[in-house]
Amino acid sequence: MSPKPPRIPDRILSWLIAPHLREEVLGDMHERFFRRAESLGEATARRRYWRDTLTYVRPGFIKRIRPVGVPHHRRFEELSSPSFFKRAMIQNYLKIAWRNVRNQPALSFLNVFGLALGLASCLLITLYVVDELSYDRFHKKADRIYRVDIDAVFGGTEQRLTQVGDPIGPTLQKDYPQVEAYVRFYNVNASKLVRNGQEIIDERRSVHADPTLFDVFTFPALYGNTKTALDAPNSVVITESTARRYFGTPDAVGKPLEVNRSLYTITAVIRDMPQNSHFHFDFIFPMKAVTYDWGNFLTSNFQTYVVLKEGVHYQEFNRNFAQVIERYFFPQAQQHMKMSSAEDFNRGGNKLVFALFPLTDIHLRSDRQDELEANGNIQFVYIFSAIALFVLLIACVNFMNLSTARSAKRAREVGIRKTMGTNRPALIGQFLTESTLTVFFSLLLALGITAAGMPFFNELAAKSLSVNQLFMFPVLPVLLLIPLVVGLLAGSYPAFFLSGFKPVAVLKGSIGSGFRKSNFRNALVVFQFATSVMLIIGTLIIYRQLNYIQTRDIGFNKQQVLIVNGTHALGSNIEPFKNELLTLPNVVAGTLSGFLPVSSSARNGLTLSKVPVSSPDNMFDTQNWFVDYDYLKTMGMTLTQGRNFSKDFGSDASAVVINESLAKLLGYQNPVGQKIYPVSNGTATPFTIIGVVKDFNYESLRQTVSPLLFSLRSNTELASFRVNTQDLPKLLQQVEAVWKKFPTGAQFSYRFMDEAFDTMYRAEQRVGQIALTFAGLAILIACLGLFGLATYMAEQRTKEIGIRKVLGASAGGIVTLLSRDFLKLVLIAILVASPVAWYVMNRWLQEFAYKINMEWWVFAVAGLLAIGIALLTVSFQSIKAALMNPVKSLRSE
């Protein structure tokens, strides 16, 4: 057997070497190989062959154009066959592409428009996702900043907090050199009454922070020095827009500001906090202005952020917290309760885990009890990315379908071209040029649609995105890649399918009929509709779940409750204010309490024990809300056992009303009359349970109701009134008039309970609406494709239909004939989509503590909807075809 040159280097060479040199180079290599094989043996020859291959890796051999100065006798025919990259060929491709567009304007429009819609959706969602992922990355040290979180389990109640005790930050910095800096937030979003001229404004975007705030976070100062801005207790840092609001100019440094009736001096004005930050404050007060029982490890009231030094891994750092607990936490805990060691504490399933949480993950991955603002959700990012991808895929599939469907017409063209000597790569090049061109036009149109749709999308997603962002770094390269990738993707099937025809078969006409039944095309239609059905089912279930949450019996009546904000401005006048309002005819009841069953209102954690001397295995965490006699009545809460607070009983100062979930935790057969104890060594006054209130939801319905108790104490932050009126504006006027009778200086400000409650679900509502919009778009695009396909089919079968009609077929029969094939595909799509949708939505529903069942009719509705839409789309064309006069279709040949 004669030796053979190795194949792989041959491949490499023929790919690498410029076409006009390929022949001589490969010839040289082979000849050398055989000569060497003879003299040195095959093995050596092979080795040398590999090595020699490398010597051809130089520009002189790789460059595709004729090297300058090559003598004239190297003529064109010596170069390889005309390649895709020749200018003349590209001009020809463009010309043919344009003619094709002009020949079938309707189909081309469907193609371009469908793709443009898909691209536009994809662009919008890309912007959304990019924005979501950009949160908190503007800080210079963003990748080294961490928030200290606690997961605590006490007597069966679990708490996941973003707040820790005040000494944690300083202790970490003192004991661990890995910590570069820390900053603490206290009293976040508390109401501050700020004087602006004669007016007093209730400002809520405020915080108390350590002076190190500006070492940790990056908030550039416009005026003043942020290094020292928070050193003095009466200093305050405000944002640019706040300065403009109060002083008309951003340069407000040194000016006085009256807050809660004391004077502060503005020490710095910083730029407004970027929209993609997980907190937004307008007023930053110094930590020194806070009166607090400092040095307490056991309470958790401070958001604490630390900066780790370069190269420190946070998960490794987390191991140090065990030491912190051992050294500081337990000694303090022992003074307050009967507990001797860590084992003692861990007995009974108690747990205390500190952990650092990366700053850049907070917006999307943190869902804890006291987040600074409502965060985003990484799941939504995934869901939207998936939707964007699906919509784009559907649009691409359309394109492929329409192109292959048109292939019958173009088969002749391909046949002629091949006969005339075009090779396959050139044909593929032609079709890819056409598709890339179409995608390019679609992209231009898509940019227009995106710009036009941006305001609606912003409203839908509560974002402030702008079209300009399309042309900034992370998006622009993607944008430029889209025509290439989508063009290749969408054009690849038609390109390879069409260029593979045998010219003889095509020109003889024996292929034509084979096109109509393309399994691949059918699979694509099934895919499109399966995706659409999945989106319909998903949207229906999201909507039903949201509706369920909002209409569920939440344990109290959120309708017609008016909340008056900032009532502590009334001071001692608050009781007269309440009483005077109660004299209004439409006000049914009123209560003074800062604690409301909507998130974003005040909370007050309390650790309790069933026995006088607390020990770790008999404690549990609850909420302790201070209310007055009328709270239950105003909120419309119902008692299941015992009684409400009453002025008839003198001893109600130490009485409490608990909720059902606390009752269950305590485990008493009849909790009324039982005593519960605050954490102590047995010296604290116990609470006596006088009643049990039906569970009501006060956090998001993603969570179950946590244990809670009411105790009687005045709390003047807010006043809530149950009203009963059809004429709200008039009532509001009356209430405002009463407010103005009292010398507060503050503006009248109110909100309604149901609105406040609904804000808890705004994120879900948005997702629902966005999903609905894009599901609609996906279906629309799929329908455009189906419409195009049906048009084409009807056109193809004009003669057949004509003959059928001549032979006596009815219009109905023909419509059925034409629609049947498509319906079959849609049915298959429904069968494929339902289980997948069921699985995905089941996963989503698992997140909710209170959820709907997925009922079969949801799937049925989605299926019927898909069938209906498909029928409607197809029938337009099939009816048109069925009603056509057979003479017209049969006359010409």
Residues that bind another protein (CB under 8 A): 23-32, 34-35, 48, 51-56, 58, 60-61, 67-71, 73, 78
Give whichever of 30 and 633 is closer to another protein, judged by the CB atom. 30
Q: At its nearest, how many Å lie between another protein and the CB of residue 47?
A: 11
Give whichever of 43 and 54 is closer to another protein, judged by the CB atom. 54
Tokens of 664: 């269950």
Give whichever of 58 and 647 is closer to another protein, judged by the CB atom. 58
Q: At its nearest, how many Å lie between another protein and the CB of residue 70?
A: 7
Q: At its nearest, how many Å lie between another protein and the CB of residue 19?
A: 13
Residue of 665, 724, 723 whose CA lies nearest to 689: 665
d(CA 845, CA 595): 29
d(CA 212, CA 372): 19
Give whichever of 53 and 242 is closer to another protein, judged by the CB atom. 53
C-alpha dihedral (494, 500, 504, 508), degrees to nearest 10: -30
Q: At its nearest, how many Å lie between another protein and the CB of residue 5?
A: 9
Q: At its nearest, how many Å lie between another protein and the CB of residue 32?
A: 5
Q: Which stretches of 386-514 are assigned E, i.e. beta strand? A: none
283-286 and 206-209 beta bridge pairing: parallel
Q: At its nearest, how many Å lie between another protein and the CB of residue 10?
A: 10
Using a 10 angstrom Cβ sphere, with 0-12 exposed, 13-18 middle and 19 or more buried, the burial of residue 506 is buried
Tokens 């309604």 belong to 752
Q: At its nearest, how many Å lie between another protein and the CB of residue 29?
A: 7
Q: At its nearest, how many Å lie between another protein and the CB of residue 33?
A: 9
Give whichever of 67 and 448 is closer to another protein, judged by the CB atom. 67
Concatenate the DSSP letters of all residues of 273-326 into one string: PPTTSS---SEEEEGGG-----S-SS---EEEEEEEPTT--HHHHGGGHHHHII
CB-CB contact of 450 with 470 (8 Å): yes
List all residues 6 or more positions away from 520 whose beta carbon is below 8 Å from its beta carbon: 404, 493
Q: At its nearest, how many Å lie between another protein and the CB of residue 105?
A: 50
d(CA 805, CA 811): 8
Tokens 């396909």 belong to 789
Q: Give the SS3 label for residue 623.
A: strand
User: How far from chain centre, in Å, is Cα 238?
Assistant: 31
d(CA 114, CA 392): 10
Give whichever of 5 and 487 is closer to another protein, judged by the CB atom. 5
Give whichever of 75 and 102 is closer to another protein, judged by the CB atom. 75
Residue of 109, 107, 113, 110 whose CA lies nearest to 409: 107
Give whichever of 26 and 809 is closer to another protein, judged by the CB atom. 26
Give whichever of 31 and 199 is closer to another protein, judged by the CB atom. 31
Give whichever of 49 and 185 is closer to another protein, judged by the CB atom. 49
Concatenate the DSSP letters of all residues of 486-533 into one string: HHHHHHHHHHHHHHT--HHHHHHT-SGGGGSS-HHHHHHHHHHHHHHH
Q: At its nearest, how many Å lie between another protein and the CB of residue 64?
A: 15
